Amino acid sequence: MKVTKITLFFVIVILLSSCKIESESLNLKQQSETQLKNIAEDTSSKNYKGWWIYGEGLHIFKDEESLLEYELEFPNENIKELERLYLAVCEMEYFPMESMLDAIMKIDSRNSKKILVVYDFEILYVEGCGE
């Protein structure tokens, strides 16, 4: 009788623990699916024309059409070389550089910021230079 009760107890404990693991696994799967939906608004690359502005380690872009501002990420570029390029062209921080960006928009789900992930860019004009 004691052996049967102990065996039944262990079977119940094992069943309950497996249900909890499955439930946690399901929650993690649902969270990751939600994050994937929030990360990329549009996975197709698009051209954006506007002003690239760099200052104090932050790259932002002001879209010419909508006048919205986006943070920029450059996954294929060395960020230090990119900052040197910007400063060589503009000669100072916070100087707008008209650019055409080939980028994908994503949304940071933690703070709902829109970010442009830039895969290619072209410098069109530097504001105020007149050249």
Q: Report pLDDT digits (tens) over 29-83.
A: 555 555 544 444 446 789 999 999 999 999 999 999 999 999 999 999 999 999 9
Report the C-alpha gap between 82 and 65 in whole angstroms: 25
Any idea what DSSP says for residue 26?
Answer: H
Percent of the chain with pLDDT over 90: 48
Between the two ends of the chain, the Cα-to-Cα distance in Å is 95
Greater confidence (33 vs 12) lies with 12
Query: What pLDDT band is residue 91 in, cutting at 50, 70 and 90?
Result: confident
Q: Mean pLDDT across the stretch 1-26?
A: 64
Burial label for 60, CB within 10 Å (0-12, 13-18, 19+), is middle
Structure tokens at 17: 């623990």
Long-range contacts of 86-92 (CB under 8 A, 24+ apart): 86/52, 86/54, 87/54, 89/123, 89/126, 90/54, 90/126
Structure tokens at 38: 């929030």
Buried b (16+ CB within 10 A) or exposed e, 7-22: eeeeeeeeeeeeeeee
